[in-house]
Structure 1
């Protein structure tokens, strides 16, 4: 079961023009935005990644502005775990449950999920906060991640699973975010 004390949010490559080409782009950005704001509220660390930003562009402004003082980690490998800075940052969190969001589901998100699973971490792919240009690629990637051992969930389900009760201190704030 998800627990905010054990969770870390990993944002994968929501950048530039590529982000504008995603299936259901507006919903994708809205759900990642909710996840970022909720993680700030729940004191869940956020690891923010960008794939070759000098070529693909920076993270979309709607998300970058929510990151506060956090800085993105540039990478060239599809998996975030191909980046030493990411691996160190992940280890420093001492968290075992990875909430995974971003693009593209069948490339960078998929390869990151598989590598995280191989490192014996719990992977929770937020299905309504990942996307690809073609919906078929997203569906197949989610299926393959599930077969590999990842949990596939949604933004709202994930957040309320971590809250567990309407008496949780952050319940009202989280409820407002998902409305």
Structure 2
């Protein structure tokens, strides 16, 4: 029997949009978005998935939240951690990072803020470039909670896949016989309570 392979391949990339400290008090359920992102970042280390992140006007709005550990000595190394003024993450530094990862189309997993602005414009640009985009419903938010379901409905209509963090992780694995399954199963259990809380807080609407 052939060795099991992951359902989402090595072209998967995690896209972390503008999760900065200055937004903590402004964004609806911001800690829940950070929690989901932490789970995905831990999965990225287990599954060796590259991470690309941005900040929005870092000089004014501050650094990425320290608990994410992006580029910290004991944290998650990013392929690109660009600062931008554009709302879309599809800026030259990010485009360069994509080229460094390979010329093929990628499976992009998007989390961050704000759902109706930077997340929307990033997703639209990635789709335009021919990439497959998964927007994580329990990993995005906006200042006004009412913006979120409207933004996600639009992105679904544009061709993005709207899913949840746990569904995405199991779809990435595809098979319980893969070598990383035990670690991934432990990660899912570690975040079991927070996953329920995050879904309740961020996904109580219906698309």
TM-score, normalised to structure 2, is: 0.81
- Alignment-derived partner of residue 39 in structure 1: 44
Contact kept, 8 Å, 1:2 with 1:97, in 2: the verdict is: no
Distance in structure 1 (CA, Å) of the matches to 2:115 and 2:27: 10
CA pair 2-122 structure 1, distance change in 2 beyond 3 A: farther
Cα-to-partner distance string for 1:100-153 (whole Å, 9 max, x where unaligned): 111111110100000111111101101101111211111111111000000011
Distance in structure 1 (CA, Å) of the matches to 2:32 and 2:113: 13
| 1:1-179 mapped onto 2 (5 Å cutoff) | 3-64=8-69, 65=72, 67-70=75-78, 72-81=81-90, 83-94=91-102, 96-179=106-189
Residue range with higher mean Cα deviation, 29-38 or 13-22: 13-22
Distance in structure 1 (CA, Å) of the matches to 2:92 and 2:40: 25
Cα-to-partner distance string for 1:44-102 (whole Å, 9 max, x where unaligned): 11001111101111001111357444362111100011x21111101221251100111
Contact kept, 8 Å, 2:7 with 2:173, in 1: the verdict is: no
| Higher Cα Rg, which structure | 2
Distance in structure 2 (CA, Å) of the matches to 1:68 and 1:135: 29
Contact kept, 8 Å, 2:7 with 2:174, in 1: the verdict is: no
Contact kept, 8 Å, 1:23 with 1:134, in 2: the verdict is: yes
Contact kept, 8 Å, 1:80 with 1:108, in 2: the verdict is: yes
Gaps of 5+ in 2: 1-5, 190-207
Question: RMSD over aligned Cα, in angstroms?
Answer: 1.7
- In the alignment of these two chains, the number of paired residues is 178
Gaps of 5+ in 1: none
Q: Secondary structure at the match of 1:144?
A: helix
